[in-house]
Amino acid sequence: MENFTAYNPTRLHFGESIINKLGTTVKQYGNRVLLVYGKGSVKKYGYYSSVVEELEAAVLEIFEYSGIKPNPIIEDVEKATIIGKQNNVDVIVALGGGSVIDSAKIISLGIASNENPWDFMTWKLTPQKSIPLVTVLTLAATGTEMNAAAVVQNHSTGQKVGYVNPLMFPKDSFLDPSFTVTVPKNYTSYGIVDLIAHSLEAFFGQGEPSVIDQITIDIIKDAIQFGPLLMDDLTNVELRAKIMLDATLALNGLTSYGKKSGDWGVHGLGHELSLLFDTPHGASLSIVYPAWLKLQKNRIPKRIIKLGQGLFDVYTVDDTINQLLAFFKKIGSPVSLNEIDIPYDSRARIIEQYKKNQISGMHHSLSNNDHEKIVDFMFLNKQLF
Ligand code: NZQ
Ligand code: ZN
C-alpha cells in the first residue's frame, strides 16, 4: 500500500426532494447568488424553477449565467466570471452536469481574484481564494459534485485541461436522483461508462490496497448490474439513485486511498478526442479503454486478469477486454472511432495531437509509439466482434 492523504470537505445531500434544504444552505454563504446552468434542459424539465423557487423562498438575490456547453469552454468561464464580479456575488449555485459544475469551479476562482482564470488552470498562477460553490447535480457521471477537479477546453491553445485544487471542492452538493430521469439514453450510457472509467483509472493507478481493489470492483459491478436495467427503464428513480451513488463514489477520493495516484492516461487520450471532434466525454472513454487495455495486454496481464475475475468471472486478458467491450456495446456506448464517424484519415491528426500534448498516464507511461498503437486499436475495436 502507498502512503496517502485523504481529504473531502463536501457535504452531500442525497435523495428525493432533498432540494428543499437548498435555500437555507445557500443563505449561509451570502445573499447574492450567481446561478450557472447549461443550454436549456434545466428549464425544459422544470429543475430551474424548483431551484429558483427555493432560492427565492430564502430571499436570495439571483444573477444568472446560462449556455455552458457540453465539453465546456474557457470563454463561458470568463464571461460568467465578469458577471459574477460586476454583481458582487457571494456564492455560486451550479445547476447541471459535469460541464456546468466544472465551469462553476473555475468561475469561483475567477470571481475571487483579479486574474484570468485560464492562468490558474495552466499553473501559470496559483489561486489563493475561491467563493463558495453549491451544486445541484442533474447528470450522474463525473463525480465532480464531490471532488476538487474541473476540466475545461481552450480551443485557442488547443488544450482540454484537467485542473485540481482543494479550493474547488463544492461546499454542498444536492443529488436528487429524480432530477436525472430526463437524461437522454445516450448521455445515460456515457455516464455509466464514465463512472466505470474513473474506477478503472484508480484500479490501474500506483498502489494495490486489497480493500480498495475490492470496493472499486464492487462499484463497477453495481454499474454493470444496474446500468443495463436503467437503460431499459430511464425514469426509474431507484435505478437512477444507484447509478448516481456509484458515480459519486467512483471519484470522490475513496477509490484512491492507499494509492500514490490513479493512472488517468485513458482520460488524457479521451480528452484529446473531445477537443478535436467534440466527442462526449463518456463516449470517448468507451472507445479508448478497450484500446488501452489491448496495449497493456502483455505489460500488466495479472492486473487485467484480476479485474476480469472480479467483474466477469473470466481468467484471461482477452476475455476481460471482450467482456468490457461487450458491456459498453450493450448499453449503447461506442467502442470504435468508426462508429462515431471519425474517418481513418484522421489517424495522423489524432496521433499528432497526442504527441503535441504528451499524453501519458501517471503510472503507465505512453510513448509516441504507444499512441500510434492505441489509435490503430481504436479504429479496429469493432472488429473484435
Ligand atoms: O446543456 P444542457 O441543456 O443542460 O444539457 C446537458 C448536456 O447536453 C444534458 N443534461 C444534463 N442534465 C440533464 C440533461 N438533459 C436532460 N436531463 C437532465 N437532467 O446532458 C448533456 C451533457 O451534459 P454534461 O454536463 O456535458 O455531461 P457530464 O456530466 O458527462 O460532464 C462532462 C464533462 O465533465 C468533464 C468531462 O471532461 C466533460 O467536459 N469531467 C469532469 C470530471 C471532474 N470534474 O471530476 C471528471 C471526468 O472524468 C470528466 O473529465
Ligand atoms: Zn471521466
Q: What is the pLDDT of residues 94-144, one digit of tens each?
A: 999 999 999 999 999 999 999 999 999 999 999 999 999 999 999 999 999
The reply to whether 208 and 162 lie within a common domain is: no
Would residue 279 count as lying in a domain?
A: yes
CATH code (residue 316):
1.20.1090.10
Ligand nearest to the CA of 160: 1
Q: Which atom of ligand 1 is nearest to the CA of 139?
A: 12
Query: Ligand 1, atom 50: nearest CA belongs to which residue?
Result: 151
Cβ < 6 Å from ligand 1: which residues? Answer: 38-42, 45, 70-72, 96-100, 102, 138-139, 141-144, 147, 149-151, 179-180, 182-183, 187, 191, 194, 251, 267, 281
Chain mean pLDDT for the chain:
97
The reply to whether 343 and 376 lie within a common domain is: yes
Take residue 188 and report the three cell numbers written for it: 445515460
The reply to whether 241 and 358 lie within a common domain is: yes
Phi and psi at residue 159, to the nearest 5°: -135, 145
CA distance 318 to 299: 13
CA distance 385 to 376: 16
CA distance 269 to 25: 38
Would residue 3 count as lying in a domain?
A: no
Q: Which parts of the chain sit beneath pLDDT 50?
A: 384-385
CA distance 258 to 186: 34
Give, as residue ranges, everything with CB less than 5 Å from ion ligand 2. Answer: 194
Report the percentage of the chain scoring pLDDT > 90.
Answer: 98
What integer pLDDT is reported at residue 385 of this predicted model? 43
Indicate the number of domains in the chain: 2
Q: Which of 179, 197, 220 is the last residue of a domain?
A: 179
Mutate to test the pocket of ligand 1, among 10, 41, 161 (most ligand atoms within 8 A of CB): 41
Residue 83, classified by CB atoms within 10 Å of its CB into exposed (0-12), middle (13-18) or buried (19+), is middle
What integer pLDDT is reported at residue 382 of this predicted model? 52
The reply to whether 174 and 294 lie within a common domain is: no
The C-alpha cell 447528470 sits at 139
Query: Ligand 1, atom 26: nearest CA belongs to which residue?
Result: 70
Instruction: Report DSSP letters for 75-139, one per residue.
Output: HHHHHHHHHHHHTT-SEEEEEESHHHHHHHHHHHHHHTSSS-HHHHHTTSS-------EEEEE-S
CA distance 246 to 14: 12
Would residue 385 count as lying in a domain?
A: no
Distance 32 CA to ligand 2 centre (A): 32
- Structural domain containing residue 355: 185-380
What is the helix (H) or strand (E) element at residue 328, kind and residue range? Answer: helix 317-330
Q: What is the pLDDT of residues 290-310, one digit of tens each?
A: 999 999 999 999 999 999 999
Take residue 192 and report the three cell numbers written for it: 455509466
Q: Determine contact, residues 270/190, Cβ cutoff 8 Å.
A: no
The reply to whether 282 and 242 lie within a common domain is: yes
What is the helix (H) or strand (E) element at residue 37, kind and residue range? Answer: strand 32-37
